[in-house]
Amino acid sequence: MASFLDLQLMVGFTDKTALTIFAPVDEVIKAFLGDLREYSSMFLKHAVPCKIMWGDLVNFDDGVVLETYLEGFGITVSTSGDNLMLNDQASVNFPDMYHNDWLVIHGLQSILKEPESEYSFLDDGDEF
**Strand order from edge to edge, sheet including 90-99:** 47-48, 19-24, 103-108, 90-99, 83-86, 74-80, 64-67, 121-122
pTM, rounded to two decimals: 0.76
User: What is the SS3 assignment for 41?
Assistant: helix
**Strand ranges in the chain using DSSP code E only, listed in sequence order:** 19-24, 47-48, 64-67, 74-80, 83-86, 90-99, 103-108, 121-122
pLDDT tens digits, one per residue of 73-124:
999 999 988 899 999 999 999 999 999 888 899 999 888 987 555 544 455 5
Question: Which residues make beta-bridge pairs with 107?
Answer: 23, 94
Q: What is the pLDDT of residues 15-57, one digit of tens each?
A: 667 899 999 887 777 766 665 566 677 888 999 999 999 999 9
- Supply the pLDDT for residue 48: 94
Domains and CATH numbers, the chain: 2-122 (2.30.180.10)
